[in-house]
Amino acid sequence: MATTLDKVDVVTVGVGWTGGIIAAECAKENLKVVGLERGRERSTSDFSIVHDEYRYAIRYELMQDLSRETITFRNSRKQRALPMRQMGSFLIGEGLGGSGTHWNGQNWRFLPYDFEIKSMTEEKYGKNKLSADYTLQDWGITYDELEPYFMKFEKTAGISGEDKNPFWGKRSEDYPTPPMKKTPILQKFETAATNLGLSPFMMPSANLSEVYENPDGKTINACQYCGFCERFGCEYGAKSSPEVTVVPTAMDTGNFEVKFNANVVEILKEGDKVTGVRYVDTVTFEEFIQPAEVVVLTSYMMNNAKLLMVSNIGEQYDPETGRGTLGKNYAYQILPSASGFFDEQMNTFMGAGALGMTVDDFNGDNFDHSDLDFIHGASLSITQTGQRPILHNPIPPDTPSWGADFKKASIHNYTRALNVGGQGASMPHKENFMALDGTYKDIYGVPLLQLTYNFTDQDKALHAHLTERAAEIMQEMGAKTVVGGNPISDYDIVPYQTTHNTGGTIMGSSREDSVVNNYLQHWDAENLFVVGAGNFAHNGGYNPTGTVGALAYRCAEGIIKYSRDGGSLV
Amino acid sequence: MTKKEKNFSRRDFLKTSGVATGALIGGGLIGGLIGSNVGGNGSASTTAPPAATDGEQGGAGGVLGLQFFKNDAEFQILAQATERIFPEDDLGPGAIGLNVPYFIDRQLAGAYGENSKEYMQPPFYEGESTQGYQSRLKRNEMFRQGLQLMQAEAQSRFNANFVDLEGAQKDEILTAFQEDEIDMKGVSSLFFFRLLRQATLEGAYADPIYSGNANMEGWKMKGFPGHQPAYINEIESEEFQEIEPHSLGM
What's the gap in Å between the CA of A197 and the closest CA on chain B? 25
Q: Kindly indicate the confidence band of residue A426, based on its pLDDT and cuts at 50, 70 and 90.
A: very high
Quick one: A12 exposed, middle or buried, by C-beta within 10 A (0-12, 13-18, 19+)? buried
A388–B contact, CB cutoff 8 A: yes
With an 8 Å Cβ cutoff, are A402 and B174 in contact? yes
Q: What's the average model confidence in pLDDT over B84-91? A: 98
With an 8 Å Cβ cutoff, are B89 and A493 in contact? no
- For residues A291 and A276, is the Cβ–Cβ distance under 8 A? yes
- Spell A316-355 as b/e; 16+ CB within 10 A means b: bbebeeeebbbbbbbbbbbbbbbbbbbeebbbbbbbbbbb
With an 8 Å Cβ cutoff, are A414 and B223 in contact? yes
Among residues A164, A206, A176, A157, the alpha carbon closest in space to that of A385 is found at: A206
Q: What angle separates helix B189-205 from helix B72-85, to the nearest 10 degrees?
A: 80
What's the gap in Å between the CA of B17 and the closest CA on chain A? 30
Residue B131 pLDDT: 97
At a CB cut-off of 8 Å and minimum separation 6, what does B46 contact?
Answer: none
B-chain residue closest to A347, CA distance: B240
Write down the ipTM of this complex.
Answer: 0.96
- pLDDT tens-digit readout, B89-125: 999 999 999 999 999 999 999 999 999 999 999 999 9
Residue B59 pLDDT: 45
Q: What's the average model confidence in pLDDT over A152-180? A: 98
Residue type (1 letter), B96: I
d(CA A189, CA A475): 10
Torsion angle of the four alpha carbons A9, A15, A20, A22, in this order, in degrees rounded to the nearest 10: -40
Helix (H, G, I), strand (E, B) or coil at A237: coil
Residue A500 a catalytic site member: yes
Q: What's the average model confidence in pLDDT over A376-393? A: 98
Helix (H, G, I), strand (E, B) or coil at A419: strand
Among residues A325, A323, A307, A312, the alpha carbon closest in space to that of A448 is found at: A307
Residue B177: other Cβ atoms inside 10 A: 24
- pLDDT tens-digit readout, A462-504: 999 999 999 999 999 999 999 999 999 999 999 999 999 999 9
- pLDDT tens-digit readout, A196-213: 999 999 999 999 999 999
Q: Kindly indicate the confidence band of residue B250, based on its pLDDT and cuts at 50, 70 and 90.
A: low
The strand pairing partners of A32, in sequence order, are none
With an 8 Å Cβ cutoff, are A227 and B221 in contact? no
Residue scoring higher pLDDT (A294 or B44):
A294
The DSSP-derived string for A472-516 is: HHHHHTT-SEEEEPPPP-S--SSS---S--B-SS-B-SSTTT-SB
- pLDDT tens-digit readout, A264-295: 999 999 999 999 999 999 999 999 999 999 99
Which of the residues B222, B237, B242 would you substitute to probe the A interface, choosing the one with the greatest number of A C-beta atoms within 10 Å? B222
d(CA A418, CA A409): 14
B-chain residue closest to A404, CA distance: B87
Q: Between B123, B206, B230, which is nearest A53 by CB?
A: B206
With an 8 Å Cβ cutoff, are A440 and B232 in contact? no
| Touching B: A residues 484-513, CB under 8 Å | 490-494
- For residues B189 and B210, is the Cβ–Cβ distance under 8 A? no
Of the residues A376, A429, A465, A500, only one is catalytic, namely A500
With an 8 Å Cβ cutoff, are B224 and A183 in contact? no
With an 8 Å Cβ cutoff, are B119 and A86 in contact? yes
pTM here is: 0.93
Contacts of B47 in chain A (CB under 8 A): none
Residue B37 pLDDT: 35
| Touching B: A residues 165-194, CB under 8 Å | 181, 183-184
d(CA A88, CA A479): 30
